[in-house]
A and B are shown apart, each in its own frame.
Chain A
């Protein structure tokens, strides 16, 4: 059971906008910034968003992050087939004194 809750799956068609959510509590998302990762099979996760809404260089602006209270969201606009993969949210949990990952959302591009 993950501390951060994500829907196990999401889907969309090419060109659409898909939003992946991440729900936490006051001890984690409520008081700390959220990070998002993209992962493809048999590869290491790739940093997509840090500090809630910041993109590392090289990440397309189709990917955007937001946070409100104890919820965070990753939006992917102009969905492309290559976006199909797993997406994880991460944040620091003050009660656990450690980083915690969401269970992940598997994105399918129909």
Chain B
């Protein structure tokens, strides 16, 4: 069965960077985009971008361009999302997600368990 397992909760200071991992199993990692979505407390989800694990090609949301970097390691079927220049506004749960074959852009069929990032001085 498809599983996305993310790294654990993080606490960072303002200005720092964080790198979250997402290990995929149960499907061919290189066949589907991996999307990253975050959700701040009391707010709706926010799309951050996606990576094509086959080519490494990335597409970031404009709100995060310049601050986010998505990478992957195909040898271990793992995607990474690194966010720099953290502020308290980045406090949120970060999810990786695998889309369905029928809707590669917004149909996120499987989700990781989420990684809570807390940014606090």
Contact B45 A33 (CB under 8 A): no
Q: Which residues of A contact B111 (CB under 8 A)?
A: 44-45
Q: Chain A 81-99 against B: per-residue CB contact (8 Å), 1 yes, 0 no?
A: 0000010101110001111
List which A39-61 residues lie within 8 A (CB) of chain B: 44-45, 47, 50-51, 54, 56
Say yes or no: A98-B107 contact (C-beta < 8 A), given A2-B44, A44-B112, A54-B102: no
Once bound together, how far apart are the Cα atoms of A10 and B93, in whole Å? 25
Asked if A50 contacts B62 (CB within 8 A), the reply is: no
- Interfacial chain A residues near B46, Cβ < 8 Å: 101
**Chain B's nearest CB lies how many Å from the CB of A88?**
6
Bound-state Cα–Cα, A50 to B103, Å: 7
- CA of A96 to CA of B35, assembled, Å: 16
| B35, B44, B109: residue with the most chain A Cβ atoms closer than 10 Å | B44
A96-B62 CB under 8 A given contacts A44-B113, A101-B47:
yes
A44 touches B44 (CB 8 A): no
Query: Does B19 reach chain A (CB closer than 8 Å)?
Result: no
Known A35-B103, A50-B102: A101·B45 in contact at CB below 8 Å = yes
Smallest CB gap from A102: residue in B: B44
A-B contact pairs, 21 of them (CB 8 A): A37-B45, A37-B108, A44-B95, A44-B111, A44-B112, A45-B111, A47-B100, A47-B107, A47-B108, A47-B109, A50-B106, A51-B103, A56-B109, A88-B45, A90-B45, A96-B62, A98-B47, A98-B49, A98-B59, A101-B44, A101-B45
Residues of B with Cβ closer than 8 Å to A? 35, 37, 44-47, 49, 59, 61-62, 95, 97, 100, 102-103, 105-109, 111-114
A33-B106, A37-B45, A104-B44 provided; 14 other pairs, C-beta below 8 A? A35-B107, A37-B108, A44-B95, A44-B111, A45-B45, A45-B111, A47-B108, A56-B100, A88-B44, A90-B106, A96-B61, A97-B62, A98-B47, A98-B62
